[in-house]
Structure 1
Amino acid sequence: MKVIVIGCTHAGTAAVKTLAKLNQNIEITVYEKNNNVSFLSCGIALYVGGVAKDVSQLFYSSPDELTSLGAQMFMEHEVLEVNTVKKQVIVKDLKTGEQKADSYDKLVVTTGSWPIIPPIEGIKLKNILLSKNYNQANEIIEKAKDIQKITVIGAGYIGVELVEAFKLNGKEVTLIDGVDRILNKYLDKEFTDIVEEEFTNQNIQLALNQTVTKFEGNDQGEVTKVITTKGEYETDLVILCVGFRPNTSLLAGKVDLLPNGAIKINEFMQSSNPDIYAAGDSCAVNYNPTGEKMYIPLATNAVRMGTLVGYNIAGQPLKYLGTQGTSGLHIFGWSMASTGLTEITAKANNIPYEMVEVVENNRPEFMPTFEEIRLKVLFHQETRRIIGAQIISKADMTQMMNTLSVCVQTKMTIDELAFTDFFFQPHFNKPWNTLNQAGLLAVAQREETSQKAVHI
């Protein structure tokens, strides 16, 4: 059997390594446009901020490693066309310009995503950069060395992390976003209010609830000003972080896609064409809190899905369990994380929910230090199954979101969470774990509601 893999960042690398280790009889060919594989784009802000000193550590594999496992690696090769009838790909060598056709038995599409570039006047001015791959990370660092004013457009995870990195490097930073608060896809308002207050205290300019309409430049063609629906901001450098779009034009009209182009997959990672597998940012995920297919580009999703592709093609079928979109962030000493639905996304999906909030210290007050935790857990109003949660603290309590991710995936109820077995040790927590406390609060609320109903 011959397998062709298109794209080799997280999902592609995981697929190749898994497939090569499980089945030595399969011929693996990889086509990758870049000259590197497995770059951790989530580490760009740490690299820009100087936390990650050695950029080589942001790669967890290499073409040489994958070659040693038996894969044929064609770096700086772009796949121009996929012929699903002939089961062929047309490939261009980006260094020589030569083209060739190559046949496959199974095709793995792990082409990832690309930053959205909005059609704004002046978008092609110099010093307006993207933040996705290794070369872009190096360009950001080089450009930022000798300038002072930086504007980040997009207040998601990448944008917020870059804002912190630039500020810690002594830059004047403006953060622009079209909605009225930062991180709105991941956290509810009471959580983002904390981070926004921290940004204000750090003298970061927040320009929220406004849309960029134009970029202005100087005679050298370099950006000097960002104009929005509410103001004008002088700048020396702009970083666009407004979201991502799946790279799936090769399969347009050939397999089933979401409206944004993400490839729909089944539980064995196959597209609507059973000989074409997909994983990572190029495809939709099965989102457990709603049961729908959604586009959630995360490295964690990519490596899991890519690994499953390897197992399934190698003849050891494993089902995809879906995702909760669990993610975490560390900003100016605050550790935060979320899993599943927020109140905003629950309402958007017309899901009836209730929620509990716990504000508690992370360990007993007789300990020399302790930190406040804010935890919110959402559960379905009718089934009482846990459907989402968020946490923030100066202490790192983010692993609780991994625990609650398991709870969502296994359809645990909030009442069961109240009495789940967790250890107690004063260095780490209290006799009633914070997660237990959330469950107990929900049980108490239900009892109170029940008693009111009886009296009526």
Structure 2
Amino acid sequence: MKIAVIGCTHAGTAAIVNAATLYPEAEITVYERNDNISFLSCGIALYVGGVVKDAQGLFYSSPEKLAELGVQTKMRHDVIAVDTVNKTLRVRNLETNEDLEDTFDKLIITTGSWPILPKIEGWQLDNILLSKNFNHSNTIIEKAKEAKRIVVVGAGYIGIELVEAFEMNGKQVTLIDSTDRILNKYLDPEFTNQTEELLKSNGIELALGQTVTRFEGTDGKVTKVVTTKGEFEADLVILCIGFRPATDLFKGQLNMMDNGAIIVDAYMRTSQPDVYAAGDSCAIVYNPTGKHAYIPLATNAVRMGTLVARNLMEPKIAYMGTQGTSGIKIYDENIATTGLTETSAQDMGMNVKTVTIQEHDRPEFMPTFEDVTLKVVYEADSRRIVGAQLMSKADLTQSVNTISVCIQNKMTVDQLGFVDFFFQPHYNKPWNFLNTAGLQAK
């Protein structure tokens, strides 16, 4: 059996390692256009900020490790054409510019995603960078050494983490986003308001509700970012506008969402027999709505890649869907979210209610305790939990993983009030704050 894998980051690495273990007789060939594999892109801001000193720690596999499993990894090889019906592909060696043909019995698509790059006037000026892979991170670090004024465009997770890292390294930082709130896909206003004040208190300039219209420069280098509301001087610009699936190879061959995300079933099968997809290249069932959605997260990718291998010969283990659970640490605040926000649920036309509690994480008789804010979103009629958000200086983020399981299992907010949680004064109160939220939902 010949297994071809296109792309080798989170989903690809998981699929390859598991397939090699499960099918030791298979001939597995991996095609990767980059000069490295398995880079943890979620660690870019930590690397840029100097928290991670050794970049090698951000890689969890290598061609050498895969070779030990009998896998042939062709680095700097770009797949330029695929015929999913006749099971052939054409590959270009980026070192020699030579093309080669190959065939497969099973194809695993783990091509991932690529940053959205709008063709804004002046976008080709030097010092306007993307933030996605290892080479990007090295370029950002090198360019940031001389930069004094850095503009980050895009107030999602990566953008927020980068502005914090730059500010902590003594840079003058501006964050621009076309929406009027940061992290608006993940958090409701009561959380983003507090987070925005935290950023501003640390000297970060927020330019929200405005769109970049052009970049200006001198001698080929960017010097200014112009928006619909103002102008901002910049020595360095990082674009973090979002991601799109890297699936152009398969347009017209596989069923996709409008944004190009490949639609897979619960066993990671595409619309074409013997062709599987996983990770940022595809869409999966989003449990809060029960519909397919594009949720590019490393956690989803690793799970999906593992399931591809398990289901390659026959459907064995179904994917349970995702809640899109994620977390971020901004200065001393720990933030986590799962499922729908109240805002996103309402935008979808859902009839939801919410309960928000502000508690202490431990009994007040303890020497120290911290505030915690928890918001739970649930359907008004069924009372099924569809989302939650949490913020605290104490690291209570694992509690959001608990609510993620509640959403996956279609639990109601009333049931949350009586879930069995332990009590120990070092860690919590007799009524865990998750219970409290469930009890207060009326």
Contact 2:217–2:223 under 8 Å retained in 1: yes
Quote the residue 1:191 is aligned against: 191
Quote the residue 1:452 is aligned against: none
Residue 180 in structure 1 maps to residue 180 in structure 2: yes
Q: What is the CA distance between 1:22 and its match in structure 2?
A: 1.4
Paired letter, 1:439: G
Of stretches 24-33 and 44-53 in structure 1, the one that deviates more from structure 2 is 24-33
2:240, 2:275 → 1: CA distance? 31
Quote the residue 1:305 is aligned against: 304
Q: What is the CA distance between 1:349 and its match in structure 2?
A: 1.6
Q: What is the CA distance between 1:285 and its match in structure 2?
A: 1.6
2:215, 2:300 → 1: CA distance? 35
**1:176-220 Cα deviation digits (max 9, x unpaired):** 0000010000000000111101111111100000000010000x2
1:314, 1:394 → 2: CA distance? 47
Contact 1:19–1:314 under 8 Å retained in 2: no
Paired letter, 1:329: I
> Under a length normalisation based on structure 1, what TM-score does the superposition of the two structures give?
0.96
1:259, 1:5 → 2: CA distance? 24
SS in 1 for 2:311: helix
1:308, 1:400 → 2: CA distance? 26
Residue 136 in structure 1 maps to residue 136 in structure 2: yes
Query: C-alpha root-mean-square deviation of aligned residues, in Å?
Result: 0.8
Quote the residue 2:279 is aligned against: 280
Quote the residue 1:125 is aligned against: 125
Contact 1:22–1:314 under 8 Å retained in 2: no
Residues 215-254 of structure 1: matches in 2 within 5 Å? 215-218=215-218, 220-254=219-253
Paired letter, 1:132: K
Residues 253-268 of structure 1: matches in 2 within 5 Å? 253-268=252-267
Contact 2:265–2:284 under 8 Å retained in 1: no
Percent identity between matched residues is 61
Quote the residue 1:325 is aligned against: 324
**1:214-233 Cα deviation digits (max 9, x unpaired):** 10000x20000000000000
Quote the residue 1:27 is aligned against: 27
Contact 1:127–1:238 under 8 Å retained in 2: yes
SS in 2 for 1:284: strand
Quote the residue 1:208 is aligned against: 208
Paired letter, 2:9: T
Unaligned stretches of 5+ residues in structure 2: none
Q: What is the CA distance between 1:82 and its match in structure 2?
A: 0.4
Contact 1:78–1:94 under 8 Å retained in 2: yes
- Report runs of 4+ in structure 1 exceeding 2 Å deviation: none
Quote the residue 1:166 is aligned against: 166
Contact 2:31–2:77 under 8 Å retained in 1: yes
Quote the residue 2:18 is aligned against: 18
**1:386-414 Cα deviation digits (max 9, x unpaired):** 10000001111110110000000000111
1:385, 1:22 → 2: CA distance? 38
Q: What is the CA distance between 1:274 and its match in structure 2?
A: 2.1
SS in 2 for 1:119: coil
Paired letter, 1:391: L
**1:31-71 Cα deviation digits (max 9, x unpaired):** 00011111000000000000001000000111111111111
Paired letter, 2:395: D
Contact 2:267–2:315 under 8 Å retained in 1: no
Quote the residue 1:432 is aligned against: 431
1:78, 1:312 → 2: CA distance? 26
Contact 1:255–1:263 under 8 Å retained in 2: yes
1:256, 1:191 → 2: CA distance? 37
SS in 1 for 2:406: helix
1:255, 1:374 → 2: CA distance? 44
Quote the residue 2:352 is aligned against: 353
SS in 1 for 2:263: coil
SS in 2 for 1:132: coil
Residues 22-101 of structure 1: matches in 2 within 5 Å? 22-101=22-101
1:254, 1:41 → 2: CA distance? 29
2:315, 2:21 → 1: CA distance? 12
1:84, 1:376 → 2: CA distance? 46
Contact 2:85–2:272 under 8 Å retained in 1: no
Contact 1:23–1:314 under 8 Å retained in 2: no
Contact 2:383–2:414 under 8 Å retained in 1: yes
Paired letter, 2:13: T
Q: What is the CA distance between 1:350 and its match in structure 2?
A: 1.3
**1:98-131 Cα deviation digits (max 9, x unpaired):** 1111000110000000000011000000000000
1:17, 1:344 → 2: CA distance? 40
